[in-house]
Amino acid sequence: MRSEKYLVLGQSLESVRNICELMVIESIKKLIPLYPSFDHCTMCIEDVYALSLSRLPATYAHAGSIILNKEVSQSDVEDVVRYAILQVADRPKHNS
């Protein structure tokens, strides 16, 4: 079922996504285990995700798009995710 939030004149925009989203998620999965002191709570992981995406150029595409060249490399994404992990670990938004 399509979410009403993503409907415009009956057309769903749910399949339009920032192409960096999955790159960031995969990098988080890969890199968080390298930081044993990182708090694995939902809020901290979401903060790493949001901070990482906000520091990368947004490139949006829909499900059938052909991406000819990416603006960021996997290495760029991993650098940003490392930065975000350290920032969130240093200043979590919760106590404990």
Q: Where are the domains of the chain?
A: 17-90
Token pair recorded at residue 84: 């975000």
Identity at 14, one-letter amino acid code: E
pTM of the model: 0.83
Can you give the pLDDT at residue 24? 97
pLDDT truncated to tens, each residue of the chain (96 aa)? 558 898 999 888 888 888 899 999 999 999 999 999 898 899 999 999 999 999 999 888 887 766 655 678 999 999 999 999 999 999 888 765
What residue type is assigned to position 1 of the chain? M
In sign, the C-alpha dihedral spanning 74, 32, 51, 41 is positive
Considering all CA atoms of the chain, what is the largest pairwise distance in Å, rounded to the nearest integer?
Answer: 48
Q: Could you tell me if 52 and 87 are in contact, meaning their C-beta atoms sit under 8 angstroms apart?
A: no
